[in-house]
Structure 1
Amino acid sequence: MEEFWTKVLNFAQDTTTRVGIRLLEYAGQVQATRKADGSLVTEADNWADQEIRDAIAANFPDHGILSEEAEHTFKGTEWCWIIDPLDGTTNFTRGIPLWGISIALLYQGTPVFGYVHFPPINQTFHGYWRGSSELDIPTGAFLNNQPIHSSDDSPTNNHFFSLCARSTSVMKQGFPCKIRMLGVATYNFLAVASGATLGGVEATPKVWDLSAVWVILQAAGAVWVSLSSKPTFPLEAGKDYGSYPLPTLVVSRPELVPVFEPLMQPIIRR
């Protein structure tokens, strides 16, 4: 399958680069409207979503597609792409240069390839994760094509942990690390994969926020902890993921799960 994975990687790189160049022209120049779930959307989100869906349909016509701005129901196809065309819309509309384009490829409902491009800072993460599948697939996690691995450090006041706007209730006196809030779900988690932070939490992410980073984090050696009663993957055929939050904690190594997971009680969903 080497030729297939080369095609997948080249497609992800070419598509996100092309879309990212156009989005840089929109950044800080568009107004957002509020969707039913409270998140923001702009004409740039909708344009990028359509552009990526069209590119997938042209290059992988037999594959399914889920995207934040269009199709939310998993049809159960063997191969399926999941798109977040613009993660960090609030940053994007305010001209804050941290936002990205996230795409993932799922096999039998579970991500096996993830690619996240952040045009304003020229950072691109990608990775492969075979998991329990029988696929012949490359391995590894990469930042700008260089291998990355999560940190082996222990928490101190000089290490970072990322929160989202809906997870500030976990902050308590004596929290093991300094807190950061970046405003981009994918970057919160990918900072763990690259070793920049020791952990991160997102209280209400959707499947398009998580699919690509799920691959990269595990390939980088980090630990994924679902804070709901059901595992994040595999996806369920026929399920509408448009209003289905997937609260998640990630940490850089297994030994940090008992350090941080007890602090997450305010946002755990049973």
Structure 2
Amino acid sequence: MNFLEIKAFSEALSHQVGVQLLRDFGQVQAAEKADGSLVTQSDRWADEQIRNAIAQTFPDHGVLSEEAEHQFPDREWCWIIDPLDGTTNFARGLPLWGISIALLYQGTPVFGYVHLPPLNQSFHGFWQGESGLDLPSGAFLNDKLIHSSQEALTRNHFFNLCARSTSVLKNPFPAKIRMLGVATYNLLTVAAGATMGGVEATPKIWDIAAVWAIVQAAGAVWYPLESEPIFPLKVGKDYSSRSFPTLVVSRENLVPVFEPLVRAIGNQ
């Protein structure tokens, strides 16, 4: 496996899809799915374009996607895609949304690429973990190396919440709060050193697969808010309704600072 080619493929594909999504931005109607989230024709179009490109370029790889393929396949290599993360922002005209692409080896992400067309920002990262693969190293924003913040926490630093985690504000919070409306970007800002932490209460696997590789490659800490491990994914399991409550912090010693404040989110 040539991982520089994997990066080049993900970059070209996400940028190509992003050009059309920018044309559609703010011009499409959204419908409500069974789970209450929104979907547009742009989501479905982007999903199909990405799946078709993967099938043509990597015919022996599996695919898991938000809009079509929900059951994890029996393949050594599998892609997980969120063709449009931040659909509500996209449909309502807020210029913060992205395209998320992850590559998994034996059920665990080893590469992630997230492109945010309105911001002209692209994150990618390689994470060897316990895969035993010979991978490039590091996390990058627009091809520049990034690392999570090592600064001492103050009340002038940021922490990101999602819409379903606002209950944590019942107690005093040790940082300024931001809510971005895009699960991937919510956590990627930790990788970039812009925020000290972030929490997602109900992310699906396509929301977090690419980010899982990138944030750890950047030195950040991924802390699941439930006891069951996320990866490796299980062959044959349907991941359409499974949520993975997650805390990400910039370094290990911030886990005991933020985890008690957001712990209850894992029980939602």
TM-score (norm. length: structure 1)? 0.97
Of 92, 108, 116, which residue of structure 2 is paired with 1:118? 116
- Does the 8 Å CA contact 1:164/1:203 hold for their aligned counterparts? yes
Of 149, 152, 160, which residue of structure 2 is paired with 1:151? 149
Runs of 4+ in structure 1 off by over 2 angstroms are: none
> Counterpart in 1 of 2:202?
204
- Does the 8 Å CA contact 1:189/1:199 hold for their aligned counterparts? yes
> Counterpart in 2 of 1:262?
260
- Does the 8 Å CA contact 1:80/1:106 hold for their aligned counterparts? yes
- Three-state SS of the structure 2 residue aligned to 1:156 is coil
Of 184, 205, 222, which residue of structure 2 is paired with 1:186? 184
Q: Distance in 2 between matches of 1:179 and 1:145?
A: 28
Structure 1 vs Structure 2 CA RMSD: 1.0
Q: Give 1:157-236 correspondences, 5 Å limit.
A: 157-236=155-234
Q: Distance in 1 between matches of 2:227 and 2:77?
A: 26
Offset of 1:170 from its aligned partner?
1.1
> Counterpart in 2 of 1:96?
94
Offset of 1:158 from its aligned partner?
0.7
Q: Distance in 2 between matches of 1:261 and 1:97?
A: 30
> Counterpart in 2 of 1:83?
81
Q: Distance in 1 between matches of 2:227 and 2:135?
A: 30
> Counterpart in 1 of 2:71?
73
Of 222, 247, 253, which residue of structure 2 is paired with 1:249? 247
> Counterpart in 2 of 1:57?
55
> Counterpart in 2 of 1:40?
38
Residues 26-83 of structure 1, C-alpha deviations (whole Å, 9 max, x = no match): 1001111111111110000000000000000000000000000000010131000000
Identity of aligned residues (%): 68
- Does the 8 Å CA contact 1:76/1:109 hold for their aligned counterparts? no
Offset of 1:184 from its aligned partner?
0.3
- Three-state SS of the structure 1 residue aligned to 2:131 is coil
Q: Distance in 2 between matches of 1:74 and 1:14?
A: 25
Matched to 2:172, the amino acid is: G
Offset of 1:90 from its aligned partner?
0.7
Residues 151-186 of structure 1, C-alpha deviations (whole Å, 9 max, x = no match): 012221210000000010111342000000000000
Q: Where does structure 2 lack aligned partners over 5 or more consecutive residues?
A: none
- Does the 8 Å CA contact 1:229/1:269 hold for their aligned counterparts? no
Residues 93-126 of structure 1, C-alpha deviations (whole Å, 9 max, x = no match): 1111110000000000000000000000100000
- Does the 8 Å CA contact 1:223/1:251 hold for their aligned counterparts? yes
Matched to 1:87, the amino acid is: D
- Three-state SS of the structure 1 residue aligned to 2:164 is coil
Q: Distance in 1 between matches of 2:13 and 2:227?
A: 35
Residues 116-163 of structure 1, C-alpha deviations (whole Å, 9 max, x = no match): 000001000000001011111111000000000000122212100000
Further displaced range: 182-191 or 163-172: 163-172
Q: Distance in 1 between matches of 2:261 and 2:87?
A: 28
Q: Distance in 2 between matches of 1:140 and 1:76?
A: 29
Residues 180-201 of structure 1, C-alpha deviations (whole Å, 9 max, x = no match): 0000000000000000000000
Q: Give 1:131-142 correspondences, 5 Å limit.
A: 131-142=129-140
Matched to 1:220, the amino acid is: A
Q: What is the number of equivalent residue pairs in this alignment?
A: 268
Offset of 1:25 from its aligned partner?
0.6
